[in-house]
């Protein structure tokens, strides 16, 4: 029997239901009338994924035709990947090995026409926060404008005309650390950054000892392809975080994450999806994958820490329709063609924005917390 961690949820369902049952499942559970799968270019995506043993999947979300607006098709890509080298190797070696893997994935994404690519939380380093230690991880904390991750990605962004969202550990000019998503635009230029708004302290795991909650508000990035925002990891649990990105005009909100099964895997599939429905925009959750082992020395004793991320990246449309998840255990590239016209169409249809009564809530919230 396969161990629990190996189960690929969507595959299990697909294998065990009849075609008619699967249609029902997709309709009731995922809001899909069919799979909307997009054929990948045989010569690039498929052969490369077979060679490198990673998943490549692509889906499309259509919108109704409009009279005064042409379809606004955006192709996004999400990359989930494991680290490559053991966490006790020199930082530069670890990073270079990840760069090599990601470079190949970006080449494939480009060949498939991806316009905005989002990498997972802290994509270019091990997620060392679980150790509670600092000194030995300093080398992974970077400048958002000219650190190694930005320097690696900027030429690729320019080469492919691709906007890239690069979540890293930031060290600012005053030497203070942040959990930050850097946005590199399609000309390879640093466009801006968003700092993680909400920080977890769960059991023995705490980010609050590393950095403060973000101070960049709810920035929406205007790019050539779309207006989007980034809700980093734990911020997906906060409805108001999602709401503000929407009020500020985001058409897509990316949720790069680093989350393990014990931290709420059963609601990974509902939070970003619920946010898409509530705010009439697309959401894209991209989670780390694979296991990361650390040796921590505490009170002269060596302690092993191992954390396994469950991947399962997925995209949801404003009408609640979602893609299947990427694998729980494999590296992968999930692509989705979004007709951004769907945002306004759904917002007008359901009326969740129109009926939101935000004036009432601003007042109630202000009174509740004694804010004046």
CB 208 to a second copy: min, Å: 9
Residue 43, SS3 per DSSP: helix
Using the minimum distance from each CB to a second copy, give the nearer residue, 196 or 307. Answer: 196
Using the minimum distance from each CB to a second copy, give the nearer residue, 7 or 297. Answer: 7
CB 222 to a second copy: min, Å: 18
Using the minimum distance from each CB to a second copy, give the nearer residue, 105 or 343. Answer: 343
Q: Which two tokens stand for residue 118?
A: 């989002």
Active site residues: 121, 196, 233
Asked whether 49 and 81 are in contact (CB, 8 A), the reply is no
Which positions lie near a second copy, rule CB under 8 A? Answer: 1, 4, 7, 9, 12-13, 16-17, 20-21, 24-25, 27-31, 197-203, 213, 217-218, 234, 237-240, 242-244, 247-248, 264-267, 269-271, 273-274, 277-278, 320-321, 349-352, 354-359, 361-366, 368-369, 371
Using the minimum distance from each CB to a second copy, give the nearer residue, 1 or 306. Answer: 1
Q: Can you name the residues that pair with 184 across neighbouring β-strands? A: 164, 190
Q: Which two tokens stand for residue 11?
A: 């595959």
> Any residues with CB less than 8 A from the CB of 278 and at least 6 apart, and which?
239, 242, 243, 352
CB 97 to a second copy: min, Å: 30
Using the minimum distance from each CB to a second copy, give the nearer residue, 192 or 213. Answer: 213
CB 352 to a second copy: min, Å: 5
Give the start-end residues of each E strand in the chain.
Answer: 55-61, 73-80, 116-119, 141-142, 163-171, 177-184, 190-195, 201-202, 205-206, 221-222, 227-230, 252-257, 282-287, 289-298, 301-310, 314-316, 332-339
CB 213 to a second copy: min, Å: 7
Asked whether 192 and 228 are in contact (CB, 8 A), the reply is no
- DSSP-assigned letters across all residues of 147-165: SHHHHHHHHHHHHHT-EEE
């Amino acid at each position: 029997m396969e161990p629990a961690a190996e189960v690929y949820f969507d595959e299990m369902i697909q294998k065990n239901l009849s075609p008619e049952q699967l249609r029902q499942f997709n309709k009731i559970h995922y809001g899909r009338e069919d799979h909307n799968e997009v054929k990948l270019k045989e010569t690039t995506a498929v052969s490369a994924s077979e060679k490198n043993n990673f998943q490549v999947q692509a889906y499309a979300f259509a919108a109704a035709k409009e009279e005064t607006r042409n379809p606004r098709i955006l192709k996004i890509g999400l990359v989930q990947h494991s680290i490559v080298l053991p966490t006790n190797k020199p930082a530069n070696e670890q990073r270079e090995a990840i760069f090599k893997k990601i470079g190949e994935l970006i080449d494939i994404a480009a060949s498939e026409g991806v316009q905005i690519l989002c990498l997972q939380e802290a994509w270019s380093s091990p997620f060392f926060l679980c150790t509670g230690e600092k000194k030995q991880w300093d080398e992974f904390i970077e400048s958002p404008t000219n650190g190694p991750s930005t320097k690696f990605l900027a030429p690729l962004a320019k080469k492919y005309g691709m906007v890239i969202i690069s979540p890293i550990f930031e060290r600012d000019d005053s030497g203070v650390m942040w959990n930050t998503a850097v946005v590199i635009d399609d000309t390879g230029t640093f466009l801006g950054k968003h700092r993680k708004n909400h920080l977890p302290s769960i059991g023995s795991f705490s980010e609050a000892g590393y950095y403060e909650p973000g101070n960049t508000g709810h920035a929406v990035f205007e790019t050539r392809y779309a207006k989007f925002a980034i809700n980093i990891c734990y911020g997906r649990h906060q409805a108001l975080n999602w709401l503000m990105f929407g009020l500020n005009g985001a058409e897509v909100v990316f949720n790069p994450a680093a989350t393990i099964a014990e931290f709420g895997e059963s609601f990974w599939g509902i939070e970003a999806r619920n946010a898409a429905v509530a705010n009439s925009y697309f959401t894209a959750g991209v989670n780390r994958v694979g296991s990361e082992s650390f040796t921590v020395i505490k009170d002269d004793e060596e302690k092993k820490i191992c954390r396994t991320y469950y991947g399962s990246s997925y995209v949801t449309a404003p009408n609640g329709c979602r893609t299947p998840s990427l694998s729980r255990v494999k590296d992968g590239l999930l692509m989705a063609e979004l007709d951004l016209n769907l945002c306004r169409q759904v917002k007008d249809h359901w009326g969740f924005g129109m009926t939101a009564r935000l004036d009432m809530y601003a007042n109630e919230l202000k009174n509740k917390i004694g804010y004046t």
